């Protein structure tokens, strides 16, 4: 007994340390370091300047909700503006959202989320906040396809409001269009307002189209002007359709 006690007094501390080390290693392996990580975070938290992971998640959620609120307020304001524009028109229009827009045909066509079930027909005029946008070219019960005036194949009879010089506008695949005049020497200058012509066969007269940005009277075979379209076609989300 005496020998055993003497042996334990010599080697007991080392055995205890080895046992503690092995236990710690086993615990670390089983928990994959989670206990040590949590202990480290607990000890160092008072000295950490930045937010905790939980605070990061909370802040991210708050930012997400704030951004959703801003988007909803923006959409609400756009709808209010559009409804005010509709009320100012003499004809009763059908408001429809843009639900389809191809990246390859961004300036050529859009798809509306309303169709024949809502009263929309082929040939309906399409207006946006700011002016003429295009014309309905096909309809299904629940959707409509609109050919935009910015499409290079689109042609609109136009007139300079100040001088009544007439011509034809064709799209350029952007928010700019080209107006080719019928007169050899048209009365036109930068800043002139451009509207649909009284002789236009597809659109009623007097619809706003844009403003003259620049003029080239030397252009052959006829003078031309670059027109900045009034309706911001690239950014529109809601449109209004009217009968011809």
Assess whether 21 and 103 both reside in one domain: no
Assess whether 129 and 243 both reside in one domain: yes
Select from 88, 111, 141 the last residue of a domain. 88
Provide the pLDDT for residue 70.
58
Beta bridge partners of 241: 94, 126
Q: pTM for the whole thing?
A: 0.65
CATH code, domain carrying 222: 2.40.10.340
Distances (CA, A) of 203 to 27, 80, 213: 80, 26, 23
Whether residue 127 has a cis bond before it, omega within 30° of 0 = no
Q: How far apart are CA 167 and CA 153, in angstroms?
A: 16
Assess whether 133 and 231 both reside in one domain: yes
Provide the pLDDT for residue 123.
94
Q: Using CB atoms within 10 A of its CB, is residue 243 exposed (0-12), middle (13-18) or buried (19+)?
A: middle
Assess whether 25 and 127 both reside in one domain: no
**Count of domains for the chain:** 3
Q: How far apart are CA 166 and CA 196, in angstroms?
A: 9
Provide the pLDDT for residue 28.
47
Assess whether 152 and 219 both reside in one domain: yes
Assess whether 122 and 14 both reside in one domain: no
Assess whether 144 and 217 both reside in one domain: yes
User: Domain of 61?
Assistant: 56-88
Assess whether 108 and 202 both reside in one domain: yes
Provide the pLDDT for residue 53.
61
Provide the pLDDT for residue 221.
86
Per run of 10 residues, the mean pLDDT along the chain (length 244 residues) is 55 55 52 52 55 63 61 63 60 86 83 95 90 94 94 91 91 92 92 87 87 91 92 87 86
Assess whether 37 and 66 both reside in one domain: no
């Amino acid at each position: 007994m005496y020998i055993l006690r003497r042996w334990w007094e010599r080697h007991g501390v080392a055995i205890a340390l080895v046992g503690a080390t092995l236990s710690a290693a086993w615990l670390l392996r089983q928990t994959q370091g989670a206990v040590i990580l949590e202990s480290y975070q607990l000890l160092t938290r008072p000295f950490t300047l930045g937010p905790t992971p939980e605070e990061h998640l909370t802040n991210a959620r708050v930012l997400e909700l704030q951004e959703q609120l801003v988007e909803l307020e923006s959409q609400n304001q756009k709808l209010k503006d559009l409804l005010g524009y509709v009320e100012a028109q003499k004809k009763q229009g059908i408001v429809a959202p843009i639900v389809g827009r191809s990246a390859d045909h961004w300036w050529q066509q859009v798809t509306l989320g309303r169709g024949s079930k809502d009263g929309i027909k082929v040939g309906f005029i399409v207006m946006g906040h700011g002016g003429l946008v295009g014309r309905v070219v096909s309809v299904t019960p629940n959707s409509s396809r609109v050919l935009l005036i910015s499409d290079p194949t689109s042609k609109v009879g136009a007139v300079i409001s100040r001088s009544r010089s007439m011509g034809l506008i064709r799209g350029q695949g952007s928010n700019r269009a080209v107006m080719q005049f019928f007169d050899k020497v048209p009365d036109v200058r930068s800043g002139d307002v451009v509207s649909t012509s009284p002789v236009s066969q597809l659109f009623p007269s007097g619809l706003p189209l844009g403003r003259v940005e620049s003029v080239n009277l030397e252009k052959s075979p006829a003078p031309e002007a670059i027109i900045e379209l009034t309706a911001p076609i690239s950014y529109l989300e809601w449109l209004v359709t009217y009968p011809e």
